[in-house]
């Protein structure tokens, strides 16, 4: 396609035929160090209030033409935007680089076009780097993250001063170590050759010291990802060296580390380089959505990794396994602040569980309520007998499970304000934490061994572990406000690079990666 057509598609027809490459290189004196007035009608023709405001603030004159070092640095920044997962095709780089190469021979009209085009693309860069290309609130109903506030034109004007340009550009980017590790992972995976190894198929689980033809592509795949050295014998024997490689692979993919080659391990092995690279790119996008300031003291939870981390003053001081929502009842992605801890919580059955679980079970057997220690209340807060309960009018009642070891929330609940009515809590199914795949709940997050975490968060000498256990023994619901501000971030990322320089990937339990990649590239 002709470049002038491409540019017209990107910018509309505001530049008209003046944008053709045929008239780009006109013999002129060297003009790269001058300021040129711009017709305000030309700028307004874009219909872009942000662009109009920027040039009004600069007296409708060119901004970048006279600032050669600044202009070149900003252009070089756009040229490496792919390092941060942005799509270079979005930034008209061919046209910008052509303008820059010929800048000393451009007519004034072309210098004006260059200045405006560079401004438009820098505004776009600031927007995408600050908040990502897409809006998660538009994409998902169960994501509730505040937009990272950025004054685009103020930032752009700051670039125009030319001072500390590198630092100003870097401040646009997420500063979390996980984002930086993703950038490194992208660099590393780009060095890998094309992946042409055939897909692995197994007929049965493969254990050590067995022969299986599938071990040939398995070993090839392990060598490709550098879990085995290239000199490894590629044969059908599952030997000790291959088992060690499989265990390391399982560790870096969030799988149960047993050295047994099962279907989940094969599924992870069958991800080609292109799929893993796409995973890295979508996670770079997500980290642009996440809060820039996570707080001084916070709990961060990675949903696909089934773990939460307690972080204070940038140090990770505790880790807990968690159970998160199943695919049909996803755990919400959000940021909030803890406000109370409740010992011996009651549990009010939420609408989804009421309709999909409780109603069918209780309709078949009225003794279900007693077996689950659930009390039925009418709209006047009167207790209703299970035998007088009307399943046809189930929405007219409130269903509350009394405190105790069999309560669905266990012995403790961690509250924070959110619009999904979700929280962290203990569980009466503590055996779930031994599973490698822990997408098992109805949306709220179950926390392993939560009482020490509760004591830590209370930050109060009165609330010793002994005192907490005494209150739990009474089975009396006790609400305790938190004295110290502790934020909570329930986030979703499926790729990163660990401190040892190994790429880590997790199963995309909510099937979000492929869909997001397609939206980013379309």
pLDDT single digits (tens) 158-173: 999 877 899 999 999 9
Distance, in Å, from the CA atom of 296 to the CA atom of 180, rounded to the nearest integer, reads 19
Mean pLDDT across the chain, nearest whole number? 91
Place of tokens 């405001």: 53
129 closest CA partner among 170, 182, 88, 161: 170
Which band of pLDDT confidence, cut at 50, 70 and 90, is reported for residue 32?
Answer: low
Domain ranges of the chain: 3-173, 293-345+409-491, 347-401
- Is 306 in contact with 323 (CB distance < 8 Å)? yes
- Helix, strand or coil, per DSSP, at residue 364: helix
Residue ranges with strand state E in 381-508: 383-384, 398-401, 412-416, 424-425, 439-441, 445-447, 478-481, 487-491, 495-497, 503-505
Structure token digits, residue 504: 């880590």
10 closest CA partner among 94, 110, 75, 98: 94
Report pTM.
0.89
pLDDT at 462: 93
**Span 269-321, pLDDT tens digits:** 999 999 999 999 999 999 999 999 999 999 999 999 999 999 999 999 999 99
Q: Which fold has domain 293-345+409-491?
A: L,D-transpeptidase catalytic domain-like (2.40.440)
**Rg value, the chain, Cα:** 29
- Helix, strand or coil, per DSSP, at residue 415: strand
Angle (CA) 437 439 440, round 5°: 110
State which of 22-31, 52-61, 231-240 shows the largest mean pLDDT: 52-61
pLDDT at 191: 96
Catalytic residues: 425, 444
Q: What value does the mean pLDDT take over residues 234-239?
A: 94
Residue 404 has pLDDT above 90, yes or no: no
For residue 82, the tally of other CB atoms under 10 A from its CB is: 15
Better-predicted residue by pLDDT, 515 or 3: 515
- Is 142 in contact with 327 (CB distance < 8 Å)? no
**Span 120-161, pLDDT tens digits:** 999 999 999 999 999 999 999 999 999 999 999 999 999 998
Handedness of CA 472, 478, 482, 488 (dihedral sign): positive
**Span 170-207, pLDDT tens digits:** 999 999 999 999 999 999 999 999 999 999 999 999 99
- Is 181 in contact with 496 (CB distance < 8 Å)? yes
């Amino acid at each position: 396609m002709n470049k002038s057509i491409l540019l017209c598609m990107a910018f509309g027809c505001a530049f008209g035929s003046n944008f053709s490459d045929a008239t780009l290189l006109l013999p002129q004196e060297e003009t790269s160090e001058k300021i040129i007035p711009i017709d305000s009608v030309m700028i307004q023709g874009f219909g872009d209030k942000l662009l109009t405001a920027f040039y009004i603030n600069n007296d409708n004159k060119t901004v970048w033409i006279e600032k050669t070092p600044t202009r070149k640095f900003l252009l070089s920044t756009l040229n490496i935007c792919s390092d941060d997962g942005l799509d270079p095709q979005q930034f008209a780089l061919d046209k910008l680089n052509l303008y820059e190469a010929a800048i000393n021979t451009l007519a004034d009209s072309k210098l004006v076009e260059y200045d405006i085009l560079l401004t438009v693309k820098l505004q776009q860069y600031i927007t995408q780097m600050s908040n990502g290309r897409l809006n998660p609130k538009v994409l998902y109903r169960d994501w509730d993250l505040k937009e990272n506030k950025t004054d685009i034109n103020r930032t752009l004007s700051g670039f125009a001063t030319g001072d500390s340009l590198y630092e100003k550009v870097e401040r646009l980017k997420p500063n979390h170590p996980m984002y930086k590790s993703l950038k490194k992972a992208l660099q590393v995976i780009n060095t890998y050759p094309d992946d042409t190894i055939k897909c692995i198929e197994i007929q049965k689980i493969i254990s050590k010291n067995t022969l299986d033809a599938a071990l040939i592509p398995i070993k090839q795949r392990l060598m490709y990802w550098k879990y085995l050295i290239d000199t490894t014998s590629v044969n059908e024997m599952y030997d000790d060296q291959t088992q060690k490689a499989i265990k390391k692979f399982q560790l870096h993919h969030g799988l149960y580390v047993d050295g047994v080659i099962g279907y989940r391990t094969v599924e992870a092995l069958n991800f080609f380089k292109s799929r893993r690279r796409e995973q890295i790119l979508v996670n770079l996008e997500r980290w642009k959505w996440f809060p820039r300031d996570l707080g001084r003291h916070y709990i961060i939870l990675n949903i696909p990794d089934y773990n939460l981390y307690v972080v204070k003053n940038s140090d990770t001081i505790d880790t807990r396994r968690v159970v998160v929502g199943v695919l049909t009842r996803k755990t919400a992605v959000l940021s909030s602040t803890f406000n109370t801890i409740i010992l011996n919580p009651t549990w009010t059955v939420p609408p989804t569980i009421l309709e999909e679980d409780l109603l069918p079970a209780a309709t078949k057997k009225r003794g279900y309520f007693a077996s689950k220690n659930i009390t039925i209340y009418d709209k006047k807060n009167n207790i209703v007998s299970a035998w007088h309960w009307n399943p046809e009018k189930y929405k007219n009642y409130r269903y509350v499970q009394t405190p105790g070891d069999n309560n669905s929330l266990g012995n403790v609940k961690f509250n924070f304000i959110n619009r999904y009515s979700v929280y962290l809590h203990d569980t009466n199914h503590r055996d779930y934490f031994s599973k490698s795949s822990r997408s098992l709940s109805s949306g709220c997050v179950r926390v392993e061994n939560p009482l020490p975490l509760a004591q830590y968060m209370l930050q109060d000498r009165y609330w010793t572990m002994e005192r907490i256990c005494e209150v739990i023994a009474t089975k009396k619901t006790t609400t305790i406000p938190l004295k110290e501000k502790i934020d909570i971030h329930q986030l979703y990322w499926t790729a990163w690079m660990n401190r040892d320089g190994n790429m880590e990937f997790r199963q995309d339990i909510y099937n979000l990666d492929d869909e997001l990649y397609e939206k980013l590239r379309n």
